[in-house]
Amino acid sequence: MVTELLYLKSIESGYFTDFNAAVTAVDGEQIILDRTLFYPLGGGQNWDTGILEGPNGTLSVQEVRGRGNILHSVGPNHQLEVGDEVTGSIDWQRRHAHMRMHTAQHLVSGVVYETFNGTRTVGNQIHNDRSRIDFNPISFTEEMLNEITIQVNNLIDNDYRVTDSTMTREEVNAEMPPERTNMDLLPSSVKQLRVVKIGENLDLCPCAGTHVQRLGEIGHIEITGKKSKGKGTQRITYELHIPQLTPEPIRERI
């Protein structure tokens, strides 16, 4: 039995912070749960942190990794056993920062593709305080970076809605060029895709990350640097300003 990914049920699920679960496996400092709200490292997005309350007290979740069975690193002295019931709470500030950063990455990647002759996103890394995106082929000038910033912040100011759904590869390809969605990087065996959509058709991209429900939650972006990574690839780094409105998490335990 693989871990049920509670944060992936819908865009709104990313706002839940508290859940119940049972331990299904123990491997040293790591445990596997039957269900989790903790996002594991993947898709360029960093993991969630938080706490687990078990029969022997409170444990700090320091790292979360894996696909299928999600490994929660809780330290060597956890004393948890298979079958133990736990309650979990994720760090909301870190989670929401990742949601803002990841949604901003979709915006930046889309703007660069549309503005600069189909330039592709070839890598990204999402952190809570800073993020980066690698593009190819391109050589950014300061004027180009300024244009990206203006376009992305205008989209944020329009506060478009962000939604998700399940689509087939063919349905996604009918709406967006495969080069823009990096469809070639997805295993051909995967037929049903979770896609994240911004506005009516501003952007649509297969993605298993966590995202905000409205662009206004992001806050303006600021591109803080660029760096050549060779062979026509350039990396830009960005940070986010604090938004005027920050939503409250959903504390109802699931």
pLDDT in tens, 23-45: 999 999 999 999 999 999 999 99
Residue 154 has pLDDT above 90, yes or no: yes
Is residue 130 within 8 A of residue 239, CB to CB? The reply is yes
Q: Per residue in 44-87, pLDDT tens?
A: 999 999 999 999 999 999 999 999 999 999 999 899 999 999 99
Q: What is the DSSP letter of 214?
A: B
The SS3 call for residue 183 is helix
Q: State the pTM of this model.
A: 0.96
Any alpha helices (H) in the chain, and if so which ranges?
A: 92-115, 142-157, 169-175, 178-181
Please check the confidence at residue 184 and state whether its pLDDT lies above 90: no
Distance between CA 153 and CA 245 in Å, rounded? 15
- The Cα–Cα gap between 113 and 192 comes to 24
Query: CATH number of 95-240: 3.40.50.300, 2.30.110.10, 3.30.980.10, 3.90.25.10?
Result: 3.30.980.10
Residue 239 DSSP one-character state: E
Q: Which CATH class is domain 4-90?
A: mainly beta
Kindly tell me if the per-residue pLDDT of 189 is higher than 90: no
**pLDDT over 90 at 152, yes or no:** yes
Q: Say which amino acid occupies 180.
A: R
Q: Map out the domains of the chain as residue ranges.
A: 4-90, 95-240
From start to end of 6-113, where are the E strands? Answer: 18-27, 30-33, 35-36, 50-54, 57-61, 63-65, 71-73, 85-90
